[in-house]
Chain A
Amino acid sequence: MRPEVALPVLLPLLSGALSLLFWRSRSTQRFIAVAGNIALLGVALWLLISVSLDDYVVIQIGGWEAPIGITLVADMLSAVMIVLTGIIGLALAVYSLASTGLGHEKFGYYPLMHLLLAGVAGAFLTGDIFNLYVWFEVMLVASFALLILGGEKAQMEGAIKYVTLNLLASVIFLTAIGLLYGMVGTLNMADIAQRLAVAENQGMVEVLSVMFMIAFGIKAAAFPLFFWLPASYHTPPVAVSALFAGLLTKVGVYSLYRVFTLMFDQTLGYTQDLLLWGAALTMVTGVLGAAAQFEFRRILSFHIVSQIGYMILGLALFTPLAIAGGIFAVMHNIVVKTNLFLISGITRRLQGTYELKKMGGLYRERPWLAVAFFLSAFSLAGIPPLSGFFAKFVIVRAGIEAGAYVVTGVALAVGLMTLYSMVKIWNEVFWKTLPEDNLVPVEQTVVGDDSRMVPASLWLMYLPVAVLALFALLIGLFAEPLLIIMNHIGDQLMNPQGYIEAVLGAEVGIEDVLVERLDEEMTP
């Protein structure tokens, strides 16, 4: 038994159930939120250590051998994603203590957050394609409820788009699973990989791979399927925005990586071109959308889209180095993007608005906040020696090596445009003097997240921001050991045989398992 593979899923479920039991007691729920996420981070680190010792950690749920039962499996990629989930979960739990309004806490904010994290962790760990769908739905339902908590008009409008497009993606995903099962007769991803490689009807395999690409492309907000994201991510309370921005879209990216390196690696013919051009257009549209915005969180939302392009580019180039760069981009982006949203929440509390035009003067007032923003924003733009530089550096180098010059050029140009947006925020929020028509810091009664303004609790918001900004700096300064891990991930993903053998045991197909089982039952 390897409990560390199942615990990252079970712990948030347990914390969620416990906080539901203490529905009326806010302070207990707050305690569980912090304690539960500390435990989650601890288990995630345990998993990371096990994976770095053993390469693959596998658990067969209920003792049913793969491919019959559901398998939970962690390779290096899953372990790194789980650790990031733990870090972001803990940062947001602490931040939420100060930023979440009474109205949200009363209506199940913390239980929903735990359930969302359980769904995310489950999606990262499962080795069964239908189980992946189930975890997506767990995650989605929790995110629906978090998105509309508060019931503002903008939230409702954003939620309708978010719900519709994500449900559409789920149905496409489910349809693809149905057709896939009809073709190969198994749901275990490792087993599917083996069978698809020898499938006769390769045309059908290509159709399926495009269906998975569309389904996960919607979830990851890739071009041209991203419209729901900028329409909804700036509407909920800021801690929820940060959680969505940091983790949710990255689950879509993770699934793309998993499915295309494991199951559809042999069909990467024109699907690879689709991914490549999709990645380029995602980068460009995202960054251009951001250039036109003057609202803090909307700029950041469009930049999520743009950054997703880099991650997909890493997958589309499909070399070990490119995949290492893509995963490096995912890791860097989860930390930095969450932090930028958290900073927007602090500036919102200080100046009462997200509109850049109405803000100003924070460099003089809060120099350390300005430093934290500077680190995160310039890391996002890819300025050395911060974390984003190395992500971009590796991807660009892989792009040049693979001969994809146009797309690589686009990636570099988009980096410049990102810098433009970040400088815009810097100038408007931190550099220029506060415009006279800004009547704050008297707290306004907009969204529920400001109803309980205690100045002393502000340090709870600063703490996670400071820690995440430090991470952005450290990822950049200690890029080499991290790159070694990323290269290891690249190798593992490009050579799925290890994953398949770890899940199925050495070269056992479904018939062999059935025959073995029958033999056991026949012999008294």
Chain B
Amino acid sequence: MEPVMAVAIGLLYAAAIFLMLRRSIVKLVIGLMLLSNAANLLIFTSAGMTRGAPPLIPEGLAAPLGPVADPLPQAVVLTAIVIAFGVLAFAVVLIRRAYEIVKADDLDKMKETDT
């Protein structure tokens, strides 16, 4: 399972970087979305994937029987998903406002604050 995930994650990162290098601000935001999803999958995978062994302690025992899935990366990913969701909601509103004010979808036209 891990090799498949690794390839998928690599593709997601590559697609995200490619989209972020485009000039369109819409593609920029889509790139950011893919990027955060790629990172979440990476955390999930790099911590090791265990199938069919939830980290539950049977009744009457003090420790789970045998190896179980690590619950911490799942908690971490959950937090990261929530944060990414909030931040991306902001980014979407931002590009909408920017489009209304600058009247362009093109990053090359947003050069007023450079120099």
Residues in A lying within 8 Å of B, measured CB to CB: 130, 133-134, 137, 140-141, 144-145, 148, 151, 153-154, 156-161, 163-164, 167-168, 170-171, 174-175, 177-179, 181-183, 185, 187, 231-232, 234-235, 518, 521-522
Contact = CB atoms under 8 A, between A and B. Distances in A.
Nearest to B37: A171
Interface in B29-47: 32, 35-36, 38-40, 42-47
A243 B63 CA distance: 49
B9 to A, nearest CB: 10
A157 B102 contact: yes
Instruction: Tell me the interface secondary structure of chain B in the complex.
Output: helix
B15 interface: no
A182 B47 contact: yes
B14 interface: no
Contacts of B20: 164, 168
B39 A171 contact: yes
A134 B80 CA distance: 8
B8 interface: no
Contact of A521 (B44, B62, B79, B114): B62
Contacts of A153: 101-102, 112
Interface of B: 20, 25, 28, 32, 35-36, 38-40, 42-48, 62-63, 70, 72-73, 76, 79-80, 83, 86-87, 90-91, 94-95, 97-98, 101-102, 107, 110-114
8 contacts: A133-B80, A141-B87, A157-B110, A159-B94, A160-B110, A163-B91, A164-B28, A171-B36
B31 to A, nearest CB: 9
A177 B107 CA distance: 31
B24 to A, nearest CB: 12
B72 to A, nearest CB: 7
A156 B43 contact: no
Contacts of B79: 130, 134
Given A171-B39, A174-B80, A178-B39, A160 B25 contact: yes
Contacts of A145: 90
A476 B73 CA distance: 48
A167 B98 contact: no
Contacts of A134: 79, 83
Contacts of A144: 87, 90, 94
A130 B76 contact: yes
Contact of B42 (A133, A163, A178): A178
Contact of B114 (A141, A151, A183, A231): A231
Contacts of B80: 133, 174
B98 A159 contact: yes
Given A160-B98, A177-B43, A179-B42, A171 B35 contact: yes
Contacts of B110: 156-157, 160
Contacts of B47: 178, 181-182, 185
A183 B113 CA distance: 42
A181 B113 contact: no
Central interface residue in B70, B72, B98, B111, by most chain A CB within 10 Å:
B98
B92 to A, nearest CB: 11
Contacts of A171: 32, 35-36, 38-39
B3 to A, nearest CB: 15
Contacts of B48: 182
Contact of A178 (B25, B46, B95): B46
B91 A167 contact: yes
B35 A154 contact: no
B46 A179 contact: yes
B58 to A, nearest CB: 14
B113 A157 contact: yes
Contacts of A141: 86-87, 90
Contacts of A235: 113
B42 A137 contact: no
Central interface residue in B40, B47, B94, by most chain A CB within 10 Å:
B94
A183 B46 CA distance: 8
B40 to A, nearest CB: 8
B46 A163 contact: no
Contacts of B101: 151, 153, 156
A181 B76 contact: yes
Contact of B32 (A130, A159, A167): A167
Contacts of A179: 42, 46
Contacts of A177: 43, 76
A184 to B, nearest CB: 11
Contacts of A187: 72, 76
